[in-house]
Chains A and B, each alone.
Chain A
Amino acid sequence: MLTGAGCFNSSSTKSSSLPPDQEEYDANAEVDVEAETPDLNANSTVEDYEDVSAEIKDLSEDIEKMNAEINSLNSVNTNLE
């Protein structure tokens, strides 16, 4: 039976907790489906589902931050005099 946070082996949660200079990124990396799939079953508790909910929220917030970065890049002056 799964209990509490950290049981889902979520790479997203792990990644979000790292400071920026420790972020590892590989543009060609495939999403590890097994690692991202929450281990939920008929025995799972409300806390287990709340953990999944928190992970989805973290990921959606990450997407918002990524979009903010895209906007920053978009505002860069690309004109060389």
Chain B
Amino acid sequence: MNVKNLLSLFVVLQLIVMPVFAVQAAPKDNLTAEEQAELEAKAAESKAQAQETAAEVAEKLGLEFADLQVKLIAGLDKSVEAIDNAIDTINASVYMSSETKVELTDGLKTLQGKLLDYRRQVNNADTMEELQAMNTEVIALLKANKTVIIDAIKESMLVITEQVSQSVEKIKIKAEAALKALDVECDSESFAEIEKLVAELETTNASLKVAIEAEDVATAKTQARAAISLSVNLAASFAVLVDDCEEEIQAQAEINL
């Protein structure tokens, strides 16, 4: 129990003891029996009221302080955990450099440090006033930073979708160059299929680039997902093409030796 609570309980005890003592100490010799009875009834009533007030004050002081302290710490822990989770997810990325990760998690770490500092202060608080002041400050801090995780995650997604775009571009360059070089008479449906997929990849990548530039994460995610099936299909078609045209490629290479 902290100092304030002890002082408050002392005041409460005074409330209980003093009225009773005062009534008991009053001169009784010149009172009638009726007055004496009335006085005793009032004393009993005061005592009951004092006891009731003591219970209320004790409950109010004790439980509210502990409740608020526990609630504040739980809320701070939850926020710290949410930030931790975001930092871990960003740091787990294979497609972002260490430098980019540091940039993206910097704001998260700063906010987390402040929240942990508040947690220590709340844990060491002695009075309701301290807790209430910290509660107000924490609420203001969280309000001012309510988009910090959203922003970091959004930025991370844009960085990765940029990587998707670059990989799509590389696939397109390789497939087009291979089709151009593959000047052989080969009966394979994969030629047309690859040309169609390259054209679709180009369109998808153009939309992806526009979405990244506009920081439109929802569209960027949609286009990145579209690029997956196109690139997987293109890789499969290219493998089939090489397989279909194996003899012709080999014959051509031998002629040109």
Contacts and interface: CB of A to CB of B under 8 A. Distances in A.
B249 A45 contact: yes
Interface stretch (B5-13, B41-49, B233-241): B233-241
A77 B227 CA distance: 26
Contacts of B167: 12, 59-60, 62-63, 66
Interface string A21-56: 101111101010100111011111110011011011
B29 interface: no
A80 B173 contact: no
Nearest to B90: A73
Contacts, number: 178
Contact of A66 (B85, B95, B150, B181): B95
A34 to B, nearest CB: 9
B95 to A, nearest CB: 5
Contacts of A23: 94-97
A38 B231 contact: no
A31 B173 contact: yes
B192 interface: no
Contacts of A53: 235, 238-239, 242
Interface of B: 75, 78-79, 82-83, 85-86, 89-90, 92-98, 100, 142, 145-146, 148-150, 153, 156-164, 166-171, 173-175, 177-178, 180-183, 221, 224-225, 227-228, 231-232, 234-235, 238-239, 242, 246, 249-250, 252-253, 256-257
Across chains A and B, which 4 residue pairs bring their CB atoms closest together, nearest first? A40-B181, A60-B231, A25-B97, A57-B235
